Structure 1
């Protein structure tokens, strides 16, 4: 397979899609991002990385961080985690209050906002303080990415915190149902902070390799989670990683993946590679429009999917 050729073709074919969609302007700090950016990186098990576009440009990973927090929480709590958060697709927008009320404060899955807030709460209960919780999340991402330079964007963090009324409402609703152990303010601050972590597509594609290899980094040999836990994370990415468009993504791309409203998407090809794309303009579901199209083209041209 000539990955360079495939990526070059995608870079040309994706151009018409770069002008479609809109940035996540409900987070003011993201409203000013250059909307015409595009990047894509593919990392193989031997460490070889192929990239196109602005692949070393850091951007706010937003909900992609939920993959890492879910992985850490699952590793700590194992099956007990599912007493507080489900593993089914939501079929509703990622910030739905209605579904949460109906299901008595138990979020459908770890990747909708309510689910990720509960996951953050479980980590806060384990690590005790907001600073320690964030540092442990950041350290984990640094470890799987093998990069100590990864950090967060203070402006994005404050922008989310100052305008995160719906997420505060979700957290308060879950607190009223007894599904939040810590103070709402502490949980939500920790949640916004890990969503504001910034990474490039090169860094993200490297960071996802362990999930393409049953929880073990294929380059360093370090085992981060068990085979079964990696299977669970990949399964939830496939069924829930793109909110109420997860079925569309599975249908057109056919790979476990996770999107973020910062314009990033990660995906894994089991036993082969991991992929990251970035394009800030989003479709109506809140997923990168050109990024989704690029992954569909990659799947078509390479013949790679889990089906």
Structure 2
């Protein structure tokens, strides 16, 4: 592995030092009981440049629950399976509502607004499940993540998965609602089982930054030369992350950070600087929209200092 440019290493280390000292850390998610136990003082960042060099600091090798960041990878898998037929089950527009809102579904006849809100990700999971047993579908998702991250130790945190299942009443309501409109085709409990488990995958910043490299480099991993998706599909996934990746905080994230990104309530954010780098940050405390408070601040500083915003330096 080559060494990252000294200026990038210094910027990443400086950001980690700044974030470690900040008193405003957001609020750790508590509606999934297992997530409430995470240390709010944790902060990790990993950046992988076009040459495969890693600049990492803080708790960058500590696994955390990736939660909704997994939705980018299930979207990628589902598009690989059914192509543009996927858009019969889910839309591509920002929701403007909280990630677990049921109101919009009623107005829009059970078709979720985009693949990154909970209802949309459940619909995507249902597509992956079709023709499989739940265990097979889940195995396929985990193996895909392992292959992208080049690390077969990546696994599901079973305690988090069980905690989500015990408390996932709103998600169960969303899935049943979509089932009533015929948007969900498999038994609801099977689709939800796979959904809860893929959200409970645990990864570190370094693993997540590695897994997302294909999105920074036109669909292929430059280190292995392997193509994951076409350049056009990579561009479209990035477009969805920019417009919908942070729920009803997506506009604010685009305004402040200027990169496609996807957050999770475990405090992780994966971000893409097209042609330049893949990035993962983790800080468990969340803002009002359910996105990592320090994670967003760190990314804002990174893009400013490196001139990486897609809207210009």
The TM-score, its normalising length taken from structure 1, stands at 0.98
Counterpart in 1 of 2:83? 78
Deviation at 1:11, TM superposition (A): 2.0
Confirm or deny: 8 A CA contact 2:20 2:41 kept in the other structure.
Answer: no
Deviation at 1:165, TM superposition (A): 0.2
Deviation at 1:78, TM superposition (A): 1.2
Confirm or deny: 8 A CA contact 1:201 1:276 kept in the other structure.
Answer: yes
> C-alpha offsets along residues 16-74 of structure 1, whole Å, 9 cap, x if unaligned?
54543111100000011111100000011222111110111000000000000000111
> C-alpha offsets along residues 109-148 of structure 1, whole Å, 9 cap, x if unaligned?
000000000000000004x110000000011111111111
Residues 1:58 and 2:63 aligned together: yes
Q: Quick check: 20-29 or 112-121, which moved more? A: 20-29
- The size of the alignment, in residue pairs, is 306
Confirm or deny: 8 A CA contact 2:125 2:194 kept in the other structure.
Answer: yes
Which consecutive residues of structure 1, in runs of 5 or more, have no partner in the other structure? none
Counterpart in 1 of 2:17? 12
Equivalents in 2 of 1:261, 1:137: separation in Å?
A: 20
Match of 2:225 among 214, 221, 227: 221
- Superposition RMSD in Å: 1.0
Counterpart in 2 of 1:247? 251
Equivalents in 1 of 2:120, 2:253: separation in Å?
A: 20
Residues 1:304 and 2:311 aligned together: no
Deviation at 1:255, TM superposition (A): 0.4
Deviation at 1:232, TM superposition (A): 1.1
Match of 1:210 among 214, 217, 234: 214
Confirm or deny: 8 A CA contact 2:13 2:56 kept in the other structure.
Answer: no
Match of 2:261 among 242, 254, 257: 257
Report matched runs for 1:62-211 at 5 Å. Answer: 62-126=67-131, 128-211=132-215
Q: Quick check: 40-49 or 55-64, which moved more? A: 40-49
Check 1:101–1:18 CA distance in 2 against 1; reply closer, same or farther (3 A cut).
Answer: farther
Equivalents in 2 of 1:261, 1:131: separation in Å?
A: 24
Equivalents in 2 of 1:139, 1:28: separation in Å?
A: 27
Which consecutive residues of structure 2, in runs of 5 or more, have no partner in the other structure? none
Equivalents in 1 of 2:25, 2:135: separation in Å?
A: 39
Counterpart in 2 of 1:47? 52
Deviation at 1:15, TM superposition (A): 3.5
Which structure would you say has the larger RCO, counting Cα contacts within 8 Å and 6 or more residues apart? 1
Counterpart in 2 of 1:33? 38
The TM-score, its normalising length taken from structure 2, stands at 0.96
Equivalents in 1 of 2:22, 2:149: separation in Å?
A: 29
Check 1:95–1:220 CA distance in 2 against 1; reply closer, same or farther (3 A cut).
Answer: same
Confirm or deny: 8 A CA contact 2:25 2:40 kept in the other structure.
Answer: no
